[in-house]
Structures are given as C-alpha cells and as structure tokens.
Amino acid sequence: MAELKVLFKDIDVPGIQTLEVYEQHGGYSALRKALGMTRQQVIDEVKASGLRGRGGAGFPAWIKWNGIPKDESQPHYVQCNADEGEPGTFKDRELMLRHPHQLIEGIIIAGYATLSKVGYIYIRGEYTEPARVMRRAIDEAYRAGYLGKNILGSGVDFDLYIHMGAGSYECGEESAMMSSIMGERGQPRLKFPHAPLPTIAGLWNCPTLINNVETLSCVPAIIRNGGAWYASMGTEKSTGTKIFSVSGHVNKPGNYEVEMGTPLMELLELAGGVKGKLKAVIPGGSSVPILPADKCDVNLDYESLQAAGTMLGSGGFMVLNDTVCIVKFMRRTAAFYAHESCGKCTPCREGTRWMVKIFDRILAGGGRMEDIDLLLDICDQIDGRSYCALGDAAAWPIRASIKHFRHEYEYFIKHGHSMVEAQAEHSVGGR
C-alpha cells in the first residue's frame, strides 16, 4: 500500500514553484513536445490516456477537447475551474500553491490543442495565497516565453489571466462561472440539449474548453510519457491516479494521490487510520451520497463507487466516526446548500430552505415522524427538477442519510435528542 504519485511526483522538491527548478525537473518539456505535434495528435494522446474530468462529473477530457471547432472563425477560450467550493475538497489548492507551473503548462497545451489564444483561471476568492503563487508563476512563464506571443518561436500565441471569485459555491458550476467571468450575475445557463455546449457557445458565446485544475495538471505528464502510459495505471474505465482530500476523523488528514481502483480501506490506512470507530465515509465531497461503514469495502474508482451507491465526485473524502450524530451533520449539510442556492429556480431555492426548517424542528425537539418522509419528498421534488446540479447535490446526501441511518432520525424525533449523544452520555455515566 503506497501512494502513486504523478501530479505530486515532484511536489516535495524544494523550490518546484519556481520556473528554474521546475525546468530542472523536466518542466515545459511537454509543451515543447506538444508544439512539435499536430493539434489532433495532442488530443489523441489525451484520448489514449483515458483521462476523465476531476471536477466532479468524470466526463472524458478528450471529448471536450475534440468538441472545440477546428476553425478560427471565432475566438476560442480555455477556462480552468479553480473554484474548489465543494466542502471537503482541498486538492486544487495544493496543486496551485505547490506546483503552479505544472498547471500552467497543462493549460497552455490545452490552449494549443483547441486553437485557443486566451485562458482564464477562475480561483475562489478565499484562495488568496494560491492566487499569489499562480500570479508569480504566470509572470515567470511570460518572461521565459512560454506565454504571450509566438511561444518558443512556434507562431502560437496564448495569454493567461486569473479571475478571482467572490465566495460563491455556485460559481464553481461551469456555466455560472462563465457568467461570472463575463461580469454577469453568477447564475447558471440553460444546458444542453436545450442550449449549445460550452465547447460551441461558451464565454462570449465562443467555443470554450472548461476543465478542472487537477484535470489540466495531468496533461504535462500525459504528453511527456504518452497516453498509453497514463492508461496503464488505474482501472480500464477509471485510468491514472486521483488525489483524495482526506479530512475528518483520521490521524493524518491531507491530500493523498493514489492509483484509481485503490481499496477505500487502504486510503484510510494511508491517512493514519480512523480515530475511533468508523461510522461512514463521504468519498467525493459533500454532494455525494454517504457510505456507511459496512459498505466501505469498495474500490476508489468511478464505477465501483457508483455500484456502491455513491460517487467519486471531486475526491473530497470525509471520514466520520461513531461520535457523529448523522441528523446534526445533515442539518449542517442542508444549511450549506440552502445558503449557496443562487435562487434562480424554485425547487432548489424553496426546497433547500424547507429542508433546513424541518431539520431545525427536529433538532429543537419538535419533530414529527412524518418529517422523515417529508424530507424524502422534498428531495424528490428537487432532484432532477432543478435548473442546475446544485439542486441534485442538495438532495442526494439527505436521501442517502435517511436510507442508511433512518433509525437515528426516528430516535431523535421520538426522544427529542440525539441517539449518538445519548449513547455517549450513557457510556460515560456507566463507567
């Protein structure tokens, strides 16, 4: 059991944030190689790698890249999603803070392959330090001729800008992010098939490639070593490695890069083991269904986690031990989505707030047994009926928590207090 480092391979090298040290470790050799390839060859290499988007949905990267029109009748853009608002996720922060040139190199290669001359990195507002590091690295890359006009004498131009968010989770949703970059209110746009894909009509209605920080950071290693090399790691459909941000009740919280398909329990061991008795894991950020301990014998890849009733999501891996009251935990989760709901559509705007009110009633000791089915009913009214996936994300965790921990809800309603806290008091009193 060990980490398998592709993105983090050189992350501990002193000074790797600087261009000089990055170049000493092969930095920008992938860009040089890519510029000697045709654009289609670069896209084909990404296809061969099997790389899937690491922002949450796991969409094959090459399909987006290939979907950008191959003519230059309009400007094309690259939009790097560094909003990282998903609770429990902090990997993009580390990739920017400690390995900025790897990301910049990946973005320039993506720009070359998609005929884009301009890229934006949309960084969440709270990430002031990663933004500072990225700015410094971008300046270095400009001075060395990796950015700007006629990159390395190739005739290729590419400019890269940082756009800071202002603390909105919804602005991590790719179409709300486009609105935000364009100076509009950060709300989502109508989606395909009711509207064109961003690859056809994205920023300023021009073709736009949108990828997450981790996705784009994978690109230099893929071009340097070949797509087949990357695809030789992981499983057939979930290739390569994945960074999991492990938090909660473990002895060594942090970011761990492991091969896709690694058993969940091995990741827990890497993170120093569970503090106390394992109760549940939320493997992909707060939006994905909770996995109770008896279902944790599962591998960490897209397919295995889906078969287990949850998702890989963004890799925000939250560990809960048996001191956690699920009802209180889910109230906190529901409050997050209610707060972040942008208000554009009724099921999410109203439904998330109703859920919080019902949780508050239960927590105040005034719950009714019907409240459990009422919560489920609201989940059904939000899920699949909302304008964007934030609504679905608000419903899934609550529904899964009732499926797996209904007895805790029933106990809370019947007794007016938490089952877990009552058990803890009982065990202290019994000593």
Ligand X SMILES: Cc1cc2nc3c(=O)[nH]c(=O)nc-3n(C[C@H](O)[C@H](O)[C@H](O)COP(=O)(O)O)c2cc1C
Which residues would be at the binding site for ligand SF4 (CB under 6 A)? 170, 188, 341-345, 348-349, 386-388, 390-391
User: Phi-psi category of 53—alpha, beta or left, where left has phi over 0 and alpha has psi -120 to 50?
Assistant: beta
Instruction: Report the site for ligand X in 34-53 (rule: CB under 6 A).
Output: 53
Q: Does 170 bind ligand X (CB under 6 A)?
A: yes
Minimum CB distance to ligand X, residue 64 (Å): 6
Q: Does 83 bind ligand X (CB under 6 A)?
A: yes
State the residue number with the nearest CB to ligand SF4. Answer: 348
Closest by Cα among 30, 10, 7, 29 to 18? 10
Instruction: Report the site for ligand X in 238-297 (rule: CB under 6 A).
Output: none
Minimum CB distance to ligand SF4, residue 343 (Å): 5
The residues facing 78 across adjacent strands are 119, 209
Q: Which does 385 bind (CB under 5 to 8 A by kind): ligand SF4, ligand X, none?
A: none
Instruction: Using the minimum distance from each CB to ligand SF4, give the nearer residue, 45 or 84.
Output: 84
Minimum CB distance to ligand SF4, residue 47 (Å): 31
Tokens of 290: 């909770």
Rounded-to-integer distance, Cα 226 and Cα 37, Å: 12
Residue 189: phi and psi, rounded to 5, are: -100, 165
Tokens of 396: 């899934």
Residue 72: phi and psi, rounded to 5, are: -110, 35
Task: Assess contact for 137 and 121: CB atoms under 8 A.
Answer: no
Residue type, 258: V
Rounded-to-integer distance, Cα 45 and Cα 226, Å: 6
Instruction: Report the site for ligand X in 205-234 (rule: CB under 6 A).
Output: 210-212, 215
Instruction: Using the minimum distance from each CB to ligand X, give the nearer residue, 174 or 408.
Output: 174
Among 45, 84, 257, 383, binds ligand X (CB under 6 A): 84
Q: Which does 338 bind (CB under 5 to 8 A by kind): ligand SF4, ligand X, none?
A: none
| Secondary-structure breakdown of the chain: helix, strand, coil percentages, each rounded to the nearest 5 | 45, 15, 40
Instruction: Using the minimum distance from each CB to ligand X, give the nearer residue, 242 or 331.
Output: 242
Among 100, 172, 347, 367, binds ligand X (CB under 6 A): 172
Rounded-to-integer distance, Cα 214 and Cα 34, Å: 19
Among 56, 165, 207, 227, binds ligand X (CB under 6 A): 56
Give the DSSP letter of residue 204.
Answer: G
The count of chain residues that interact with ligand X, using the rule CB under 6 A, is 23
Instruction: Using the minimum distance from each CB to ligand X, give the nearer residue, 215 or 235.
Output: 215
Listed in sequence order, the residues at least 6 apart from 21 whose beta carbon sits closer than 8 Å to its beta carbon are 13, 14, 15, 27
Instruction: Using the minimum distance from each CB to ligand X, give the nearer residue, 292 or 347.
Output: 347
Q: How far is CA 104 from the centre of its chain?
A: 18
Q: Does 390 bind ligand X (CB under 6 A)?
A: yes
Among 103, 388, 402, 413, binds ligand X (CB under 6 A): 388
**Contact residues for ligand X (CB under 6 A)?**
53-57, 59, 81, 83-86, 169-170, 172-174, 210-212, 215, 388-390
